[in-house]
Amino acid sequence: MRLLVLAIFSALIGLAVPAHADAGGYLAELNRAGVSYSDPTDATNAGLSLCQRLARGDSFDSAVDSVTATGYSEHDAGFILGAAVENLCPDLVPALNQWLQRPNPAAPPPLVPPDMPPFGR
């Protein structure tokens, strides 16, 4: 899951971090990513709720899980989390970057053993 979020958010982490919460920027990020929401106020409140959970010490993994539990795909959850952190709680960007760069312990093992010769030899 972390790799998916990293791939989705990689374009965002190089951007300048705003000095304060920016609900308009958050919604603009969701719109650019094609993430649907029914009400801008509800979408913003959901993003702010993610920020509150993270500020309380919840993990980024549990934040992504909470978004997918509402019916969003992991792909969209990655955008929602990244947009929320970047625009609504920019003080958490360093923690998000650190989380994204950690090795993923849940990654599946490789399908081919590393010492196996290439196919056709």
* pLDDT at 14 (0 to 100): 42
Give the N- to C-terminal CA distance of the chain in Å, as an integer: 34
For residue 10, name the pLDDT band (cuts at 50, 70, 90): very low
Report yes or no: 97 and 6 within 8 Å, Cβ to Cβ: no
**More reliable by pLDDT, 117 or 99:** 99
* Whole-model pTM over 0.75: no
Half-sphere exposure of 93 (CA within 13 A, CB side): 18
Query: For residue 1, what are the contacts with CB-CB under 8 A and spacing of at least 6?
Result: 61, 64, 74, 104, 106
